[in-house]
Structure 1
Amino acid sequence: MGRRGEQNAPLGGGGQGHGKRHRVRRVLLGMVVALVAVLLVLYLGIHIYAGSYSHATATAREALETSSDVRVKRLDSGDVLFVPSDAGRVSAALVFYPGGKVEVTAYAPLLRRLAERGIACALTRMPENLAVLAPNAADRSRGELEDALRVAGCDPLNVPWMMGGHSLGGAMAASYAGSHASEYRGLVLLAAYSSGDISKSGLSVLLVTGTRDGVLNRDRYNSCLANLPSDYREVRIRGGNHAGFGSYGRQDGDRKATISGGEQVEATVQAIVSLAGSL
């Protein structure tokens, strides 16, 4: 009888070990299921939130046409390139991030005019129209623009590069430029600010805002000026508002502009061309 008890003991211990492993697997499986559920809810929440966005106007769509002055190329990635037809006129290059919940092509009028002035541009498409979901998207769009410049007969390494963006896109552009300062010489912030400290980055920074902007958080904007290099430039467009940097209609919370969208875009182009000329 004693020997039988000794023989059965290991079997009982093995059963307990197997049950414990089974419970651990069930707990781990439950954690994985819960994590997947949380991620799914988060994804659906973002998708629903971003589902209502500002669409590009007919004016913006017209700016996507290639002309004798500017070659426009829409890529499979969703990015849009604007390259001066005469490669010898390329004086600088700009990678641009669109504002939050705004269709990327809404900024075609602005970037087209810049290309007409010799600045090659890459308009970077964002997932769900939110730059915060892909802050490093410039890795892709800059490479695309470099390739296009080479095909056009321009060496992309011989021109100064700028990062830029509008609103949320500007904030993400500032973050990207700050961590890639050796690759860029200028930063263009349209109704935007840098939350991170880039004061020692060596970047030449241009800030452009409209005096009728009802969306930009002015207190936050002013407090973040300390994050910029001390020689930053600031341009305030009299009568311009928040939405006027793109072509997507009225934006909730914004004030009515007292100048046309075309006038605001032209004033912005002049400021950016001036910055590019100083790099």
Structure 2
Amino acid sequence: MVGQQLLVMRKISIHSSINMTNKMKKIGRYFLALCLALILIIGTVLHTKTYQASEQAQAISQTANQTKDYLYFKAYGERKGNILFYQGALVEESSYASIASNLSQDGYDVYILKAPLNLPILAQQKALNIIEKENLDNVYLAGHSLGGVVASLNAEKSSKIQGLILLASYPSEKTDLSSDKLRVLSITATNDKVLKWQNYENAKKRLPESTQYRSIEGGNHGGFGDYGQQSHDGKASLTSHEQNQEISQIVLNFLNGQA
């Protein structure tokens, strides 16, 4: 009698365990489905908020070699160096194709890095990985807005990095390059209403004293790429093409030691 009771209790215990396991599996499936749905919703929202490259920028980007990690603009003639560029937050990477193409025509290999959801902070190791994988030397990191913040994070992490190019950007409070020997160029625009100017001024103490500062008269934040008017930005008095050309020339002067 006791043996039968134990057997019944054991069966009940096994049945309960199976039910609990099935319930946990169902909960796990529901949780996974919820996570996937949230990811899809977030991805869709971010995509709708992403600034798309202009038709001209898209056309120029088609001249680049494309991989899953970057758009590559090969240097014309003898290669002088490499530029790895981080896009601005929620800005399609093709938006910077015009500047990249201009720099490549003067002898620089340019890599416009691709980031998940067009957020460079999600690809902050990509530049270092490419430098290592491609065995690049004489490297300059560059970035627009949040992309410049990410570029700054990586600037002192490899001896192959010679300099830093910041477009409407500045290093975060956690990044101090003031005692570093990096060559640094910082470009802003007078009609930029997106850049946090007080933070920009405060960040100058975290850059080398030798940093070169240049300003584009009449330019705005969106003009550092080619993706149209950005929300809350000032109105530019020159076209995106004109601002891109001016940026390209300033950067080339810097790279070639002419400024």
TM, length-normalised to structure 1: 0.76
Partner of 1:162: 140
User: Counterpart of 1:104 in structure 2: which amino acid?
Assistant: E
Report which of the two has the higher share of helix.
1
Three-state SS of the structure 2 residue aligned to 1:255 is coil
Partner of 1:77: 68
Query: Which has the larger displacement, 22-31 or 243-252?
Result: 22-31
Q: 1:210 aligns with which of 173, 189, 213?
A: 189
User: Counterpart of 1:225 in structure 2: which amino acid?
Assistant: K
Partner of 1:181: 158
Taking only the aligned residue pairs, the percentage that are identical comes to 27
Structure 1 residue 190: Cα displacement: 0.7
> Is 2:82 the partner of 1:93?
yes
Separation in 1, partners of 2:180, 2:8:
68
Separation in 1, partners of 2:105, 2:185:
20
Q: What per-residue deviation string (whole Å, max 9, x for no partner) do you get for residues 147-167 of structure 1?
A: xxxxxxxxx65x510111112
Three-state SS of the structure 2 residue aligned to 1:215 is coil
Partner of 2:13: 16
Separation in 2, partners of 1:23, 1:164:
54
Unaligned segments of structure 1, at least 5 residues: 66-71, 147-155
Residue pair 1:131, 1:172 contacting (<8 A) in 2 also: yes
Q: What per-residue deviation string (whole Å, max 9, x for no partner) do you get for residues 257-276 of structure 1?
A: 12333442233223323443
> Is 2:92 the partner of 1:113?
no
Three-state SS of the structure 1 residue aligned to 2:155 is helix
TM, length-normalised to structure 2: 0.81
Three-state SS of the structure 1 residue aligned to 2:159 is helix
User: Counterpart of 1:210 in structure 2: which amino acid?
Assistant: A
CA, structure 1 residues 241+12, in 2 after alignment: closer, same or farther (shift >3 Å)?
same
User: Counterpart of 1:186 in structure 2: which amino acid?
Assistant: G
Structure 1 residue 110: Cα displacement: 0.7
Partner of 1:258: 237
Partner of 1:60: 57
Residue pair 1:98, 1:169 contacting (<8 A) in 2 also: yes
The number of residues matched between the two structures is: 255
Q: What per-residue deviation string (whole Å, max 9, x for no partner) do you get for residues 161-198 of structure 1?
A: 011111222222223335x3334121111112222314
Separation in 2, partners of 1:35, 1:205:
45
User: Counterpart of 1:54 in structure 2: which amino acid?
Assistant: Y
Separation in 2, partners of 1:226, 1:35:
46
Query: Which has the larger displacement, 135-144 or 210-219?
Result: 135-144
Unaligned segments of structure 2, at least 5 residues: none
- 1:229-240 superposed matches below 5 A: 229-240=208-219
